Structure 1
């Protein structure tokens, strides 16, 4: 059995710990590794990396992980380390990924991969030139709801796709009376925070993965809550945007234009079935997908409502949709992509979601912020290495 040693940097954070360590790497280890096409197994050995010694040690002891360190540089020079994973704050990521790839390590990373498009493109160049396998987390495409939605697209369910509408977000408490459920740095621009920077890199790969290439953007950002309270209960100025409203023009592989609009907000209360939902409408049918659920309505089953403000609505519109079955067992999305990435490492091939895809996400975030500042629509140039 082959064993890959994976240096995991940033596992004391919420995403690094819960999704990547607890729900991905540890279950893979407990299952005896990832099965490869030839029937052999690829086992994983996590090496925990973090700046807070007590926190890293406690996690290692809790889960029976033998190796951990606070010296990130040491794992990059350690020849026994095969893969470097990064879930740090964005401001630390580009330098760490660069060092890892130049040391010959395969990399798997959260996003954004860098604070600027220039840095993100340079990372993609280094990956190409170094020959390592580089993967970027595209977890939402592995969610059961979006897997079902993509299947409907592939089967031609929608006919000609016309539009997508997305709603994402929830109320993040300010921290004054009730503790905030997200880190305070997320709301400080100087620390790499901001809704647009955070989420437009996600929306880019979601739109690419479901519909096609993003050709233009017009966005409006806002800081709806100007003052928040940090982890010590101290008030601070929220300098980053906590909401971003975007309209994107998409071109499908068939050349059809699609209009997508996505609202993203940490200052909205949820009146929908899931924390994120996407509705796709086409000439032959429509579907609404969330994290796990997907419902659809065919053209032949579409009712014919009539606008009449003088009478109360008696029909239940939600009951007129049918749930799309999974027809397969769908595991945790983060774990599924980890397994795919590890198989690519074993086969010494490119991962389908690499650093160039991540660079396009950084580009969309930059252009979204520029669009909001200038109040205009911006076309999206093609990135080339």
Structure 2
């Protein structure tokens, strides 16, 4: 069995998401399992090349995990003799320029979302990558979560009959940072730094709806900044200039209505931090990150409205859990493996920068809808 070493330049891994999900739970996890088998007797061995702004943080991280390649120079990282793939998990405003530099250097591109701050920028990145002939992909991790994989299985199997609607609830209470430290970085709440709920989450909702239910055809959004003042990591008060909640109504192909509430100012009364309820003529399902439960038409109870009496039945107990029927790995790692295999073997890969641009498009239209107070169509995107 031969080993193919593939250098992966990883920018932004000193941040929470870049470190936990992409470096530790994806790239290092692939190494811990002995590499990625390519099916022809070759094992792909990803070699991280860390890049970022802080030499102190990079060295500490590299020492912690026994890594040897790190630098504060993007050009130096891209020029490394092993470098084949560039990955970006930086803050959004820094992403587009770095991706352009990596494409110009001939590197294959894999990036967090949103891929750019504007639709024009996102489409230009997709065009540049295509012209350069490099493999390219955008992170769409939620498609690989157990709960949503089960939901996709139900859709593909015709469980719902004609799908009528989707209801999504996402979010949790992010502490203001005064008497308890916030669980999310302060830049998330400053529009000038690329923060905002719509820019953060509408790209997710685009690929979830498009990929599991049906393509998005229109959007109406309302935004709010429920918590106007917060305290940052250094204990300094600051004004929140970005939306911390977004309430969206989406029309999908086939006349399906989707409504998704997203908020950093909501206390959780759900089984999971995100849940989607899909209702159809033949059955319904509620899917979260890991679990999915269903209620078929034949077993649907017949509630009767009577506010004068307490509820006499446990509605949640009337649903049935969908079995795993499979072993589920970390969603980020699964998509990393698909992308690395795509680069190494030319295998099919759907989630490219054009798909990433669709998420930026929906975010841009959502922000416009919120400003103008009207529903907007979502045009088809082509390069």
| TM-score (ref. length: structure 2) | 0.98
1:329 and 2:331 aligned: no
Structure 1: gaps of 5 or more residues:
none
Q: Deviations over 1:118-156 (max 9, x none)?
A: 000000101111111101110000000000000000000
**In 1: Cα distance, 2:354 partner to 2:214 partner:** 16
Equivalent in 276, 279, 282 of residue 278 of structure 1:
276
Structure 2: gaps of 5 or more residues:
none
**In 2: Cα distance, 1:130 partner to 1:326 partner:** 41
- The alpha-carbon distance between structure 1 residues 125 and 349, as it changes in their structure 2 partners (threshold 3 A), is farther
The more displaced of 30-39 and 131-140 is: 30-39
Provide the residue aligned with 1:367 in structure 2: 365
Provide the residue aligned with 1:184 in structure 2: 186
Q: Deviations over 1:266-321 (max 9, x none)?
A: 00000000000000000000000000000001110100101011111010000000
Provide the residue aligned with 2:5 in structure 1: 3
- Contact 1:196–1:244, Cα closer than 8 Å, also in 2: yes
Provide the residue aligned with 2:344 in structure 1: 346
Provide the residue aligned with 2:77 in structure 1: 75
Provide the residue aligned with 1:357 in structure 2: 355
Which secondary structure state, in structure 2, belongs to the residue aligned with residue 180 of structure 1? coil
- Contact 2:38–2:345, Cα closer than 8 Å, also in 1: no
Matches within 5 A, 1:88-99: 88-99=90-101
Provide the residue aligned with 1:226 in structure 2: 228
**In 1: Cα distance, 2:349 partner to 2:114 partner:** 17
**In 2: Cα distance, 1:80 partner to 1:321 partner:** 52
Cα offset for 1:39? 3.4
**In 2: Cα distance, 1:130 partner to 1:348 partner:** 16
Cα offset for 1:79? 4.0
Q: Deviations over 1:198-233 (max 9, x none)?
A: 000010000011112110000000000000011111
Q: Deviations over 1:81-125 (max 9, x none)?
A: 011110000001011111111111011110001001100000010
**In 1: Cα distance, 2:315 partner to 2:348 partner:** 45
**In 1: Cα distance, 2:380 partner to 2:191 partner:** 27
| TM-score (ref. length: structure 1) | 0.98
Equivalent in 119, 134, 143 of residue 145 of structure 2:
143
- Contact 2:276–2:288, Cα closer than 8 Å, also in 1: yes
Matches within 5 A, 1:229-248: 229-248=231-250
Cα offset for 1:38? 2.0
Provide the residue aligned with 1:267 in structure 2: 265
Provide the residue aligned with 1:297 in structure 2: 295
- Contact 1:133–1:349, Cα closer than 8 Å, also in 2: no
Provide the residue aligned with 2:103 in structure 1: 101
**In 2: Cα distance, 1:344 partner to 1:200 partner:** 27
**In 2: Cα distance, 1:342 partner to 1:304 partner:** 50
Cα offset for 1:347? 1.5
Provide the residue aligned with 2:30 in structure 1: 28
**In 2: Cα distance, 1:231 partner to 1:172 partner:** 13
1:55 and 2:53 aligned: no
The more displaced of 70-79 and 171-180 is: 70-79
Cα offset for 1:326? 1.1
- Contact 1:187–1:193, Cα closer than 8 Å, also in 2: yes
**In 2: Cα distance, 1:277 partner to 1:67 partner:** 40
- The alpha-carbon distance between structure 1 residues 350 and 51, as it changes in their structure 2 partners (threshold 3 A), is farther
Which secondary structure state, in structure 2, belongs to the residue aligned with residue 82 of structure 1? strand
**In 2: Cα distance, 1:161 partner to 1:274 partner:** 23
**In 1: Cα distance, 2:347 partner to 2:90 partner:** 26
